[in-house]
Structure 1
């Protein structure tokens, strides 16, 4: 990628490289990192599943085990999405590089830079919030150890664990190895969530920058049409024959310039649509699976929080997980809304153009652009569910409905 692109996407590159998801990494590094991480994740999933089969009673009583199992499954899905779809990731990155080479107008380049900076800030902010929430979850086992030092009792406080799992041996005898294992697994799982989500937001942010650049080019055409230069032919009716011919030539040249500008805009708009379609096809199954699982997790978390109202320390980590789940659901839907808004904005700007000052062939191109922009670009989950903020609200409502249903099963 170009040096400017590397400068803005270097954080995403570092993140993706940590789990073997960056396309230019060697095959050995990709296989090694993904194997180590998946071993940790699926070992925990196996232990949670075994624990669930041993102690299964009802949904409400085994809610904690179900939550942890689903969270680990989400981490595995995200890991395999990034690793197994590495060719698609490489293709998306190559398209970004291509776009930076064809959007060469100074205004377009500035817009791409501005959106890349915003995307970088979004990556940092999202990672910061998720890791802060993770810290609340990781503090639970450490609290008794800290209290034994700060406020000691006549006897040591009992150990607390991140996951209530039967490892097949005495947990207290191997408390610290278990603690290290669960910490590493949790950090890996959360890191995968952050890396894949921020990569997804990066790709969507670039798509928004393409539509924004095209919209500004349309505004420039409008300003040119409304300028004094393009209206000279209506100012003086008392023109000589030669002057009239000269004005006709100037007007023809202006129409020719506008026509070629519209051709360029249509070409770039088609390229942007193709990029969004490929992005949608690359993440549609991923989005559909995660939406369903996240809604179930939010419902279980609500049940778990209600059952721990008298245990404030335990309740804190589930509140943090609930906030993180809502944030994750928001991240899945908000990028789709941004693409819808930016693609619709092109229709508004093209509609407001001074078409009556254009030549016939220019207005034909404008009508093609209006027809294509009438239906906004969207990101979907499974090709059946449009990701948007309106549907985000319906998903939150659905999770509350599932929460009520599961609670009634107690």
Structure 2
């Protein structure tokens, strides 16, 4: 008996590993690239995180030092802060994943445990569909992220590229798009400073969108749990079961309702834990993100109307579009959670609950009572992630 149990556990572990490799491997690779994968925390990983955090912090410091060495004006202020705030946003997210490593690991463990609770192929198909969407989202986001980063990198390295393709008698002047102060001769050490800028930009971009893809993975898993709960509720009280007479009918109905309540409770607990993990940082990121979008918008308008610097204007246009896309998907994810919670409530209310025994109906009241309060993700009552919230933010900025 023990041997059979050990064999089943081994087979289940192998299946879970295959699922993780299939759907969550890309997120794992991204977090490993950043040194944020919570299952590997060796000394080398610790050095990895310190190095990346140091690059980001020194890049921010190098920009802020300009205010000390250069005479202040509004143009300088806008240009520096339009880069500082996106960098700060990425740095905060990077630090958040370092601080919340245990919580991120716990969320991943719960995903694995939830897969083990599935009872039939239809439920597996439901959760695999959401896992597939998560993988597709991650691949798409990272593809566009790398394309955008490549575009900005090519514009920054354009003089160097032109010197290789069509060389002149003297090298073209290569200037940093980002205004920085390193207290060294920038012309002499231009390539070292350029390397620092490009590495910092790469880390910021991967940190922002890689961690966002991971959070989206968690949110879509929560949506999958609500969907499975809805499926169980819809199929719990069937006419074929109601035709059965005697205690067996009551047992089947009670058994099915209990399993629906279990998966619903896990969905609620998963969502609440996810929200509590990121609530404080979410409030900070909202302030930094909106400020970043505002400064980039002002800088773009200034470049587009007062100067003929089309290359810089195009870079800030990419920044603005990226901000809006990020805001949209962040609020869309919150809307999805809310919609799935409402669908579960409707599935419970529109079912044949009145045909169930009285003690089984009382169990359904737990879901109905929870369903009267929308499941949301956000920062308490200050801001709720939703499409309505996205529209409000967009209107206030524009």
Same fold (TM over 0.5): yes
Q: Does 1:100 align with 2:115?
A: yes
1:168 corresponds to which residue? 183
Q: Secondary structure at the match of 2:65?
A: helix
1:376 corresponds to which residue? 374
Q: Does 1:196 align with 2:192?
A: no
Q: Could you tell me how far 1:147 is from its partner in structure 2?
A: 3.5
1:407 corresponds to which residue? none
2:235 corresponds to which residue? 220
For residues 226 and 370 of structure 2, what CA distance do their matches in structure 1 show? 13
Q: Is the 8 A contact 1:42 1:76 kept in 2?
A: yes
Q: Secondary structure at the match of 1:140?
A: helix
Provide TM-score, normalisation by structure 2: 0.90
Q: Does 1:122 align with 2:137?
A: yes
Map Cα deviations across residues 83-136 of structure 1 (whole Å, 9 max, x no partner): 111111111111111111122332222211111111011111111122222222
1:32 corresponds to which residue? 47
For residues 321 and 52 of structure 2, what CA distance do their matches in structure 1 show? 25
For residues 24 and 357 of structure 2, what CA distance do their matches in structure 1 show? 42
Change (3 A) 1:149 1:268: closer
1:45 corresponds to which residue? 60
Q: Could you tell me how far 1:52 is from its partner in structure 2?
A: 2.7
Unaligned 5+ residue runs, structure 2? 1-12
Q: Could you tell me how far 1:13 is from its partner in structure 2?
A: 0.9
Return 8-17 or 327-336, whichever deviates more: 327-336
Map Cα deviations across residues 182-229 of structure 1 (whole Å, 9 max, x no partner): 11111111111122111111111111110011111122225x22x4x6
Superposed CA RMSD in Å reads 2.0
Q: Could you tell me how far 1:51 is from its partner in structure 2?
A: 0.8
Pick one of 318, 322, 325 that aligns with 2:323.
Answer: 325
1:138 corresponds to which residue? 153
* Larger Rg computed on CA atoms: 1
For residues 160 and 35 of structure 2, what CA distance do their matches in structure 1 show? 35
Q: Does 1:269 align with 2:279?
A: no
Q: Does 1:296 align with 2:296?
A: no
For residues 84 and 370 of structure 1, what CA distance do their matches in structure 2 show? 36
For residues 178 and 103 of structure 1, what CA distance do their matches in structure 2 show? 53
Unaligned 5+ residue runs, structure 1? 232-246, 401-410
Pick one of 294, 311, 314 that aligns with 2:312.
Answer: 314
Q: Is the 8 A contact 1:140 1:162 kept in 2?
A: no
Q: Is the 8 A contact 1:343 1:373 kept in 2?
A: yes
Q: Secondary structure at the match of 1:375?
A: coil
2:8 corresponds to which residue? none
User: Structure 1 runs of 4+ off > 6 angstroms?
Assistant: none
1:19 corresponds to which residue? 34
2:85 corresponds to which residue? 70
Q: Could you tell me how far 1:160 is from its partner in structure 2?
A: 2.4
Q: Is the 8 A contact 1:64 1:304 kept in 2?
A: yes
Paired residues, number: 380
